Structure 1
Amino acid sequence: MASTTALTADERKTRQRAIGGSVIGTALEWYDFFLYGTAAALVFNHVFFPTMDPLTGTLLAFGSFAVGFVARPIGAIVFGNYGDRIGRKRILVITLMIMGISTMLIGLLPSYASIGILAPILLTVLRFVQGFGLGGEWGGAVLMSLEHGDPKKRGLSASWPQIGVPLGLLLANGALTLFLWLTDDEAFLAWGWRVPFVLSAVLIAIGLWIRLHVSESPEFEKLAAEGNRVKHPILEVLRTQRRELLIATGSRIGTDVAFYIFVLFVVTYLTQMVGVEQTTATLVVLISAATMILFIPAFGALSDKVGRRPVYIGGAVGALLWIFAFFPLLETQNLALIIVADFVGMLCWAAMYGPLAAFTTELFPTNVRYSGASLGFQLSGILGGALAPIIAVALYGRFESWLPIALYVAAMLAITIVSVVIARESAKDETVLTVEEARR
């Protein structure tokens, strides 16, 4: 692909549209996903699990949250396989519709008081559908941005869809915080929390319009023209890319655990263990998420200059050390110190998440990249983000101390550090985007 200086005006516009479409579409999908996670921390224990004590109800709400992570590898297998065979663009349109419709239906779901046990069952089913759609989203969005981008700035190009995570988190928490302020506790539990979910119908329309106007990845078009597609990409990954798959999975486990502690469990910890008001807890997360929108691409660009591994490892080591200061700062109940605690934690996470997309996708050749990168990314979600809030709540319930939680996070980050250390450095590898034969 030509360098940036050689691009025509039309080519530059195409590249910008592809990256912009990936960012906006991914932000909308993560909005759907995080809306559920925040509601699980604040609402679902009352609306769908009201017969339990508060801590058990929260644990069950997070259990339904974890179901989405179980579905994500299934989505990664299905959509990754087709994304490598028929193209990235068409799959991204499908995943957006699946996520949006399931989120809207959650907002319309009757409560436990109305339909009994059927309410949490349907909630869990819809969460599974959410996760299934998201399983195919990340890989396609990252590849559209990376494969349209400058080959010499892959870290920066691939990091743009990554800001969809804090953008989606910002939108989700912002929407719920708005209705917390606009309603009293009774009205918020009755209908206020539902409005942000139903608004997904509007977001679907916006996202579809954007994605339908983005061109297919040039790397995939080249792959198809040369006849180098494989019939069963996911089987090819499992047969020839097992080491790369393990590295992709291990490298994200600690990243995922740290993230869900810093943005999800922190809300539960502040409101139920420390005694901070809900609006204050969500405000802390909003501040951290907003600043990460700037830092994620900055770390992605830095990885183009100094390498993926140094930036990634630096963030993981920083998060491992910071977690032992994180909880004591939360327990001060001082808003400024709480903001500092979450901001520094999220900064360390951004140092991992910025280069993560390029690091993961560069492990795999083009003709199985969607399948390999998606599966590795989503498998780590089960071991990382799916279990992190559940384990954290269970550890606190057992020991009534933050220290076991910090030790758990540190252990998961150690797995990430080892995985990145044993990986090859690919930032300066000019052949990473070259089409390769999958059957070696």
Structure 2
Amino acid sequence: MSNTIVNRRKEERRVLAGTLVGTTIEWYDFFIFAQLTATLLTPLFLAPVGESNPGLAQILSFAMIGISFFFRPLGAIVAGHLGDRFGRKKILVATLILMGIATSLIGLLPTYAQIGIAAPILLVVLRILQGFSAGGEWGGAALMSVEHAPDNRRGYFGSFPQIGVPLGMILATGLLYVLRVSMTPEQFQEWGWRIPFLLSVVLILVGHVIRRALEESPVFQELAERKSEEHTPLKDLMRTNAKQVVQAALIFVSNNAAGYLVIAFFIAYTTNVLGMELAPVLLATTIGSVGWLTFTLVGGWLSDKMGRRNTFVLGYGMIFVWMIPMFMLVDTGNIVLYTVAIFVLTMGLGLSYGPQSAMYAEMFPAHIRYSGISIGYAIGAILGGAFAATVAQILLETTGWSGSIAIYIMVLTVISAGAVLWVGETRHRSLGVTGFHADGTAKIPGVHSTDNTKA
């Protein structure tokens, strides 16, 4: 085997490790907040509302999860613009540091009992910083992995930043489980809840070291070598590829909404409504996250074999069919049946998440790709997961029937599956650059400057 091949494979492994570690840390930070919001942060930061109206307090706490999603598009716009102009690697490092700072500061915040209304206000500000960072993180990680991949393995390579979500979930839920069983409820509520946020500092340092060692994306290097004039990626994106942004957003809606049932809603629902013990629920969520991780990798690999479209549709079909039976199992209050319900859901989640990086990258030309996939992803997160837990809680409060939540997710699943079919198969599209058209847009083999959907 030649030195060139050996060196290339070493770099590929470094890229996969760098994107995986970074996204894992980012989503660990995000999920720690989501899970503690469901179980603890309401009495600490929304005490007056929680005492007078627990149902409203739960809705407000879930809304606090959702508010950060509104700042993801801003983060996506800024990071996408800078990433398309100055490189994927620099932005990946910057978003990781910003997320770590915001998360660590949450661990140092005084509570409502200590500083009054300033406590939830400061918490919202830090959540906004988290949302801004998350908006720019995913696009860079996805492109670093996919643009380094061999053409026939983009789906598999692109699944590595995707499994950062379930890995972050495993870290967050697993740590909370350990803390819950190793200290009294009083200790956890007084100071133990701060530990997961403060540990983010260590994780950020590890991720920073790994990401700094990466080489820039080869597609961006080619762009940088060929580009001789200034470009405005966001303007180009809206002029030539607005349709693809809409498609990308709609594709993600169902997966993100169903995912946030696992991440946030079910933990509150099972403990507050069904009366289940928190520690076993956290353990069941961790087991479900292992299924999510496994089937995300399978989804990426499978999309290289049978296509992105078919893999997406298979995953969304599983989510649609499983929704009603899943809530029937959850409502039994039996921890074993709850674990089965969550695990089967994560199979569909993984299959409809693993191919996403590759499909999104194949939908946009190189010079606006970071902007396109980041903004599409961020808008999809707003329409899907931002207020999924809030909507689920409102439906539960107004109908008294958990099946209404299932129908809500099923409707979103039909929309997302329809968007996948609208895009069509993308597996054989080129990611490379062969020059620029007269209007400044990149020449992608087999794709015209005004219609980048053709293979």
TM-score normalised by L of structure 1: 0.96
1:57-76 per-residue CA deviation (whole Å, 9 max, x = no partner) reads 22111111111111111100
- CA drift at 1:302: 0.6
User: Could you tell me how far apart the structure 2 residues matched to 1:359 and 1:7 are?
Assistant: 28
For residue 425 of structure 1, give the secondary structure of its aligned residue in structure 2: coil
Aligned equivalent of 1:287: 287
Aligned equivalent of 1:433: 432
State yes or no: 1:192 paired with 2:192.
yes
For residue 227 of structure 2, give the secondary structure of its aligned residue in structure 1: coil
For residue 8 of structure 1, give the secondary structure of its aligned residue in structure 2: helix
- CA drift at 1:6: 9.3
Structure 2, unmatched stretches of 5+, are: 442-448, 450-455
Given that residues 31 and 263 in structure 2 are in contact (C-alpha distance below 8 angstroms), is that contact kept between their aligned partners in structure 1?
A: no
Aligned equivalent of 1:359: 359
State yes or no: 1:18 paired with 2:15.
yes
- CA drift at 1:255: 1.0
User: Could you tell me how far apart the structure 2 residues matched to 1:230 and 1:250 are?
Assistant: 31
User: Could you tell me how far apart the structure 2 residues matched to 1:20 and 1:239 are?
Assistant: 35
1:13-57 per-residue CA deviation (whole Å, 9 max, x = no partner) reads 111101110000110011101111011111111110111232222
Q: Which runs of 4+ in 1 moved over 6 A?
A: none
Q: Kindly tell me: are residues 435 and 111 of structure 1, through their superposed partners in 2, closer, same or farther at Cα, counting changes over 3 Å? A: farther
- CA drift at 1:229: 7.3
State yes or no: 1:234 paired with 2:234.
yes
Given that residues 255 and 352 in structure 1 are in contact (C-alpha distance below 8 angstroms), is that contact kept between their aligned partners in structure 2?
A: yes
For residue 412 of structure 2, give the secondary structure of its aligned residue in structure 1: helix
Q: Kindly tell me: are residues 361 and 193 of structure 1, through their superposed partners in 2, closer, same or farther at Cα, counting changes over 3 Å? A: same
Q: Give the letter aligned to residue 199 of structure 1.
A: L
Q: How many residues align?
A: 436
User: Could you tell me how far apart the structure 2 residues matched to 1:290 and 1:436 are?
Assistant: 43
TM-score normalised by L of structure 2: 0.93
- CA drift at 1:187: 1.2
Q: Give the letter aligned to residue 34 of structure 2.
A: G
Aligned equivalent of 1:201: 201
- CA drift at 1:258: 1.0
Q: Give the letter aligned to residue 332 of structure 1.
A: T
Q: Give the letter aligned to residue 358 of structure 2.
A: A
Q: Give the letter aligned to residue 353 of structure 1.
A: Y
- CA drift at 1:182: 1.4
User: Could you tell me how far apart the structure 1 residues matched to 2:38 and 2:273 are?
Assistant: 13
User: Could you tell me how far apart the structure 1 residues matched to 2:417 and 2:210 are?
Assistant: 37
1:362-394 per-residue CA deviation (whole Å, 9 max, x = no partner) reads 110111100000000010111111010000011
Q: Give the letter aligned to residue 433 of structure 1.
A: G
Aligned equivalent of 2:453: none
Given that residues 223 and 229 in structure 1 are in contact (C-alpha distance below 8 angstroms), is that contact kept between their aligned partners in structure 2?
A: no
- 1:44-83 equivalences in 2 (<5 Å): 44-52=41-49, 53-83=53-83
User: Could you tell me how far apart the structure 1 residues matched to 2:123 and 2:187 are?
Assistant: 20
Given that residues 103 and 198 in structure 2 are in contact (C-alpha distance below 8 angstroms), is that contact kept between their aligned partners in structure 1?
A: yes
Aligned equivalent of 1:273: 273
Give the superposed CA RMSD: 1.5
Aligned equivalent of 1:30: 27
Given that residues 83 and 91 in structure 2 are in contact (C-alpha distance below 8 angstroms), is that contact kept between their aligned partners in structure 1?
A: yes
- 1:261-410 equivalences in 2 (<5 Å): 261-410=261-410
Percent of pairs identical after alignment? 39
Aligned equivalent of 1:43: 40
Q: Give the letter aligned to residue 246 of structure 2.
A: L
Q: Give the letter aligned to residue 244 of structure 2.
A: E
For residue 385 of structure 1, give the secondary structure of its aligned residue in structure 2: coil
Query: Which of 8, 12, 19 is the aligned partner of 2:5?
Result: 8
User: Could you tell me how far apart the structure 2 residues matched to 1:177 and 1:313 are?
Assistant: 34
- CA drift at 1:424: 2.5
